[in-house]
């Protein structure tokens, strides 16, 4: 709680002092590549990386390590494909990129993008708030309805303050603090684990396999995603959604627009890749260490999903003090991601929906900032209500659905707009609405909602789609619909793409 209070006051001190949309949306654009890289790392890594990923490694060994590998590959995807052309051609939001590329029909495209952005941000925000209750449950057991409500309201209110008052400057401070704490926290704990096993990796692996009650199966593939063809397809679908979806999350995309120059962006992304890779590597050590020191059976007994693994490991290595430090780290991580998501959703509403669609570019900067602050409050309240209704739903399920929608709707539109000359506004609309609808429908008719003991409605069965993640179908569908809509519509004037291409390659004037 002390960490939360300190970060809250820091956000208030660094909040924008003027009603300038560039400062509210993009923050201090003179930061060094290291600070930008820390902020990107903070935006990218959520509490699921610290708690969920280490838990998956602790329970499933090799398959959990593969899951962590997907997190790193996802950022490489953003680095090599879209970071630089997106920053060069962008302004404040993703809607500005699409409006420049698809000048005819830009208002309808902005509207579709706002809808997809809100759905993705709300789902991921709800996952963070539900995760905060799960974190609380590690200390007090299953919380009552009143305690759950108080927890969500307090944390949700802090998130609203971060986004509505702090804007991008406040969010950046939180992300930098969070990234430093995350790197130091997982690094020190991993060193304690390795020191416990005399820096002998083979001893760590063999002890983990021995305490898993699974023997060598723990260090081989197939424990989580093997066995049946459906499980293997589900694993591929999940990895596809993680790799492509993480790179297309709105708050990640918005962060790529912040660096003032391309040189700073390149340096920032390199720092971010190194930091994210380090954290994921250390998270793997923590997961294996938890199995080796605590034991797989005890971890699964406390939490079948494994989210308590790193906290149980902290207690064994450093007692209540290290457990408290790791808990505060998870809490700040959760707050940072939730604040970034709320800001991305609010910016999309204020700039794309209000400023460009409703006011047709005639809104003043003060108006946009006021609308952004009100939108942040509205998104926060909506997120709190949905989080209370979603109690009992797996946070990973909500997060993976958000990834699948981002990869199925937003990513095809961004990739086509940056690299395909023939892409049109109709293609963008089909890709955005079609990718969103396909993802949601497949999840509604999947085992997540019905037919299995862990479903939302376990006593009914309308799950004709056998996989838990829709990515393997919805992502190709998003790209296919974008292509189909474009070839069936009238091409744009050639000079529109040529001017856009030049700007994406060499950059724009200072925004």
- Quote the CA–CA distance of 6 and 67 in Å, as a whole number: 33
pLDDT at 75: 67
Q: Which helix (H) or strand (E) holds 257?
A: none
pLDDT at 299: 86
- Quote the CA–CA distance of 421 and 450 in Å, as a whole number: 43
- Are 46 and 216 a contacting pair, CB within 8 Å? no
Q: Is 488 exposed, middle or buried (0-12, 13-18, 19+ CB in 10 A)?
A: exposed
Distance spanning both ends of the chain, measured CA to CA: 38
pLDDT digits (tens, 9 = 90+) for 197-224: 999 999 999 999 888 888 888 888 777 6
Residue 152: name the closest of 143, 141, 165 by CA.
143
- Quote the CA–CA distance of 441 and 292 in Å, as a whole number: 41
How crowded is residue 319: how many other Cβ atoms within 10 Å of its Cβ?
10
Query: Tokens 């809250």 sit at which residue?
Result: 8
Q: Is 2 exposed, middle or buried (0-12, 13-18, 19+ CB in 10 A)?
A: exposed
- Quote the CA–CA distance of 177 and 10 in Å, as a whole number: 10
Tokens of 211: 């305490």
In degrees rounded to 5, what are phi and psi of residue 460? -115, 165
Using DSSP's 3-state secondary structure scheme, residue 49 falls into helix
pLDDT digits (tens, 9 = 90+) for 244-283: 887 788 888 888 888 888 888 888 888 888 888 898 899 8
pLDDT at 172: 84
pLDDT at 510: 52
pTM more than 0.85:
yes
Using DSSP's 3-state secondary structure scheme, residue 457 falls into strand
Q: What is the mean pLDDT of each run of 10 residues along the chain (511 residues)?
A: 69 68 75 85 77 84 79 68 80 84 84 93 86 70 75 83 80 84 90 92 90 84 72 81 81 82 84 88 91 89 79 87 82 81 89 88 86 91 87 72 88 90 91 93 85 77 85 93 92 80 70 53
- Are 272 and 42 a contacting pair, CB within 8 Å? no
pLDDT digits (tens, 9 = 90+) for 440-498: 899 888 887 887 777 777 788 888 888 888 889 999 999 999 999 999 988 877 788 88
């Amino acid at each position: 709680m002390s960490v939360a209070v300190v970060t809250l006051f820091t956000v208030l001190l660094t909040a924008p002092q003027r009603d300038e949309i560039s400062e509210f949306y993009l923050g201090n654009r003179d930061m060094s590549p290291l600070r930008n890289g820390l902020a990107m790392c903070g935006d990218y890594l959520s509490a699921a990386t610290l708690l969920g990923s280490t838990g998956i490694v602790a329970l499933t060994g090799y398959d959990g390590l593969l899951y962590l590998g997907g997190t790193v590959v996802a950022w490489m995807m953003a680095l090599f494909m879209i970071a630089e052309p997106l920053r060069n051609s962008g302004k404040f939001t993703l809607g500005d990129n699409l409006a420049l590329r698809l000048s005819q029909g830009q208002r309808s495209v902005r509207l579709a993008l706002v809808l997809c952005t809100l759905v993705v941000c709300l789902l991921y925000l709800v996952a963070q708030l539900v995760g905060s209750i799960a974190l609380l449950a590690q200390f007090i057991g299953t919380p009552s309805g009143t305690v759950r409500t108080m927890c969500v309201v307090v944390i949700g209110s802090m998130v609203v303050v971060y986004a509505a008052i702090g804007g991008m400057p406040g969010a950046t401070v939180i992300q930098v603090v969070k990234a430093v704490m995350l790197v130091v926290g997982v690094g020190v704990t991993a060193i304690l684990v390795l020191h416990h096993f005399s820096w002998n990796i083979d001893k760590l692996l063999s002890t983990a396999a021995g305490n898993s009650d699974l023997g060598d199966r723990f260090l081989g593939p197939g424990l989580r995603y093997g066995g049946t063809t459906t499980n293997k397809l589900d694993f591929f679908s999940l990895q596809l959604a993680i790799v492509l979806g993480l790179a297309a999350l709105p708050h990640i995309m918005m962060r790529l627009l912040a660096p003032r120059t391309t040189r700073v962006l390149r340096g920032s992304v390199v720092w971010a890749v190194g930091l994210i890779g380090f954290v994921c590597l250390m998270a793997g050590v923590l997961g294996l260490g938890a199995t080796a020191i605590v034991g797989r059976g005890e971890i699964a007994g406390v939490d079948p999903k494994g989210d308590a693994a790193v906290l149980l490991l902290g207690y064994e290595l450093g007692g209540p003090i290290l457990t408290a430090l790791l808990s505060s780290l998870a809490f700040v991580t959760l707050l940072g991601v939730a604040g970034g998501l709320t800001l991305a959703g609010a910016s999309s509403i204020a700039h794309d929906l209000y400023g460009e669609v409703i006011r047709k570019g005639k809104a003043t900067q003060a108006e946009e900032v006021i609308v952004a602050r009100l939108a942040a409050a509205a998104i926060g309240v909506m997120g709190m209500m949905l989080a209370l209704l979603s109690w009992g739903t797996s946070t990973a399920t909500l997060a993976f659905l958000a990834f699948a929608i981002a990869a199925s709707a937003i990513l095809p539109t961004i990739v086509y707009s940056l690299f395909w000359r023939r892409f049109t506004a109709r293609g963008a609309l089909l890709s955005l609405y079609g990718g969103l609808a396909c993802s949601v429908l497949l999840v509604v008719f999947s085992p997540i909602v019905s037919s299995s003991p862990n479903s939302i409605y376990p006593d009914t069965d309308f799950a004709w789609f056998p996989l838990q993640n829709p990515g393997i179908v919805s992502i190709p569908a998003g790209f296919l619909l974008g292509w189909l809509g474009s070839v069936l519509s009238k091409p744009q004037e050639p000079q529109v793409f040529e001017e856009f291409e030049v700007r994406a390659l060499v950059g724009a004037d200072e925004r």
